Amino acid sequence: DGGITQSPKYLFRKEGQNVTLSCEQNLNHDAMYWYRQDPGQGLRLIYYSQIVNDFQKGDIAEGYSVSREKKESFPLTVTSAQKNPTAFYLCASSKVEGTTEAFFGQGTRLTVV
Amino acid sequence: QKEVEQNSGPLSVPEGAIASLNCTYSDRGSQSFFWYRQYSGKSPELIMSIYSNGDKEDGRFTAQLNKASQYVSLLIRDSQPSDSATYLCAVIVPGGGNKLTFGTGTQLKVEL
């Protein structure tokens, strides 16, 4: 089945640790996105990528890093510089031409302990 | 000015009524517009996309786009309790490499 897979579903981080969230898609989409959602809030864009080996900062990139070495994969690292990382993280992908609907993975809920 | 704006609600409608959700956007160059439904604790689910001025209907849902007014709306006919969710408006903003930007969402409550 085609789709977007995020892992893990739940993640616990100790203060000062870096953690990496996985996002893989087999939809042959060129564009991939990472969003953060806090309780009762909308989606805020962290990073996005339109093509392999290239990505752009979104509205809240500080404390996060990404890579796009393969078309299918767009991992997000939450670094220790991110002071308030507890949130629901969502990955999405889309085509860049024609019908550009984005589809989401199931999300990763990150909690700092 | 926010790139995509929505009224946060909650919007309450009785079962069987029409729910009307509204969204405005700031970049006149935007070409692609989407409505997502999000249940609490779940990821957003695409329900409508619209790319040209006018109306687009799919079952009980109708999306309306007015590029001159920079306005996109979603109508839900015969609202059901299962429609109770947060509805997110999203726009592809051409500046900065076609980034997909979301509004803060409108919470819809369909009451029995």
Residue A95 at interface with chain B, using a CB cutoff of 8 Å: no
Question: Inter-chain contact A41–B43, Cβ cutoff 8 Å?
Answer: no
pLDDT for the residue numbered A1? 61
Task: Tell me the percentage of chain B whose pLDDT exceeds 70.
Answer: 99
Burial class (CB in 10 A: 0-12, 13-18, 19+), B51: middle
Which residues of chain A make contact with B97, given a CB cutoff of 8 A?
Answer: 48, 50, 56
pLDDT for the residue numbered B96? 66
Residue that the structure tokens 């069987």 belong to: B16
What is the mean pLDDT of each successive set of 10 residues along chain A, which is 113 residues long?
A: 90 92 96 94 94 95 97 96 93 88 96 90
Which residues of chain A make contact with B37, given a CB cutoff of 8 A?
Answer: none
Question: Inter-chain contact A94–B100, Cβ cutoff 8 Å?
Answer: yes
Distance from CA of A16 to the nearest CA of B (A): 27
Token couple for B102: 């979301």
Token couple for A62: 């500080």
Q: Considering only alpha carbons, which residue of chain A is nearest residue B31?
A: A100
Model confidence pLDDT, tens digit, residues B49-102: 999 999 999 999 999 999 999 999 999 999 999 999 999 999 998 876 778 999
Cβ contact B1:B99 at 8 Å: no
Distance CA A41, CA A104 (A): 17
- For residue A23, which of A73, A97, A86, A96 has the smallest C-alpha distance? A73
Which residues of chain A make contact with B99, given a CB cutoff of 8 A?
Answer: 33, 45, 48, 56, 58
pLDDT for the residue numbered B98? 79
Residue B88 at interface with chain A, using a CB cutoff of 8 Å: yes
Cβ contact A36:A91 at 8 Å: no
For every residue of B46-89, DSSP letters joined together read EEEEE-SSEEEEETTEEEEEETTTTEEEEEESS--GGG-EEEEE
pLDDT for the residue numbered B47? 97
Question: Inter-chain contact A35–B102, Cβ cutoff 8 Å?
Answer: yes
